[in-house]
Every structure is written in structure tokens, then in C-alpha cells.
């Protein structure tokens, strides 16, 4: 120790003496490792969402082939066939939502997908936090609900039914938008 400062040799005089961190208790350290490792459970929803997306794409493709056959066999009236293609759009949007969710879970819980990888992720699909994932999924839900509404309007037997559905979908969209807005506002402080 230095005679005039009370500091150990090599320490600046204005700094307090160093204290070594206390070793953690073994059970607490083991529990922390277990909790940190539990993030790998996110592989389960990633795989399930990828399979669900694949299923939606396969079903959409099957529906498209079936729709073409129906239209070729019975081309008129045209209005009844538009709904088949709108259902196809819905299925592909649902599949895309599943894929976006799978990428989000992977990036948030397992590992960031780097731009230099063999299959780079577009910048709009990169997610920094759970709010990014929620925003993208909610945007897709709004899009699916909108397409579903148009599908019902095309085949609706009455304007009243379409109006009721439209009001319901608009209410859900407003609620989801408000949820996103308040969530992002709360994050900023």
C-alpha cells in the first residue's frame, strides 16, 4: 500500500480499492444456466409454425388447382368463382404469417439471422424485440381479415350481413391498432 493515499500499489489514488466479485452459489448458477438454456424451447414453435405455414401453402395450392378445374368445367356465373381465389389469397397470407412468426421466434429467442448468411433475411423481416413481431403479425391479421371481408361481400346474400361483418372487422382492426400504438408509446416512455 502506498504510504500517503492508502491505495494499493498501481491503483490511482482517487479510486476505491477493488473488490473481487463474490462467487455465486452453485444452485443459483445452475438454475440460471437452466433458465438461459430454456430459450431453446423456442425451437418447438419455430418448427410448428414452419409446418403450419407449409400446410397453408400446400392447401392453398391444392385449392388453386381444384378451383381451376371447377372454373374450366363450369365457367359461369363468374361471381361465384371469385370467392375461391380470395380464399386462396387468405391461405397464402396465413402461411406467410406463420413464416413471419417462425422467423420472429427464431431471431428473438434462439439466434439472430445474419445478413451475410447463405439465405439472408430481408431487413423488413428482421426483429429486434417482441413488439416488432407483434406488429408484423397484427399487420398480417388485419390483411387476412380484410381479404376475408371482401370474400364475404362477394358471396353475401344481403348487404346487412356484409355491413355487420364489416363493423365487426373494423372494430377488431381499431382495437389492434390501438394496442400497437399504446404498446409502442409505453416503450418510449
Would you call 156 exposed, middle or buried from its count of C-beta atoms within 10 A (0-12, 13-18, 19+)?
A: middle
Find the mean pLDDT for residues 146-174.
86
pLDDT at residue 122 greater than cutoff 50: yes
- Cβ–Cβ < 8 Å for 175, 182: no
Rounded distance between C-alpha atoms, residue 82 and residue 66, angstroms: 13
The model carries a pTM of: 0.71
- Cβ–Cβ < 8 Å for 109, 42: yes
Q: What is the dihedral of CA 89, 42, 136, 171, to 10 degrees?
A: 80
Q: What are the cell numbers at 95?
A: 402461411
Low-confidence winner among 3-7, 115-119, 142-146 (lowest mean pLDDT): 3-7
For 24-90, what is the HEC assignment? Answer: CCHHHHHHHHHHHHHHHHHHHHHHHHHHHHHHHHHHHHHHHHHHHHHHHHCCCCCHHHHHHHHHHHH
Residue spans per domain, the chain: 39-188
Which pLDDT score, from 0 to 100, does residue 2 have?
46
pLDDT at residue 147 greater than cutoff 90: no
C-alpha gyration radius of the chain: 27
Q: Is 93 helix (H, G, I), strand (E, B) or coil?
A: helix
Q: Give the pLDDT band (50/70/90) at residue 23.
A: low
Q: Is 115 helix (H, G, I), strand (E, B) or coil?
A: coil
Would you call 100 exposed, middle or buried from its count of C-beta atoms within 10 A (0-12, 13-18, 19+)?
A: buried
Low-confidence winner among 19-28, 70-79, 92-101, 124-133 (lowest mean pLDDT): 19-28
Higher-confidence position of 79 and 123: 123
- Cβ–Cβ < 8 Å for 138, 176: yes
Amino acid at each position: 500500500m502506498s504510504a500517503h493515499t492508502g491505495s494499493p500499489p498501481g491503483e490511482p489514488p482517487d479510486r476505491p480499492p477493488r473488490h473481487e466479485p463474490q462467487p455465486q452459489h452453485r444452485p443459483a448458477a445452475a438454475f440460471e444456466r437452466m433458465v438461459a438454456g430454456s430459450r431453446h424451447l423456442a425451437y418447438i414453435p419455430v418448427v410448428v409454425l414452419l409446418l403450419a405455414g407449409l400446410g397453408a401453402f400446400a392447401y392453398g395450392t391444392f385449392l388453386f388447382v381444384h378451383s381451376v378445374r371447377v372454373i374450366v368445367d363450369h365457367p359461369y356465373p363468374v361471381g361465384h368463382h371469385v370467392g375461391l381465389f380470395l380464399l386462396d389469397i387468405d391461405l397464402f397470407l396465413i402461411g406467410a404469417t406463420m413464416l413471419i412468426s417462425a422467423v420472429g421466434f427464431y431471431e428473438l429467442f434462439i439466434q439472430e439471422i445474419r445478413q451475410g448468411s447463405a439465405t439472408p433475411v430481408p431487413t423488413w423481416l428482421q426483429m429486434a424485440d417482441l413488439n416488432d413481431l407483434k406488429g408484423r403479425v397484427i399487420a398480417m391479421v388485419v390483411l387476412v381479415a380484410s381479404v376475408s371481408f371482401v370474400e364475404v361481400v362477394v358471396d353475401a346474400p344481403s348487404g346487412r350481413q356484409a355491413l355487420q361483418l364489416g363493423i365487426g372487422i373494423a372494430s377488431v382492426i381499431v382495437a389492434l391498432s390501438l394496442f400497437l400504438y399504446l404498446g409502442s408509446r409505453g416503450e418510449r416512455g
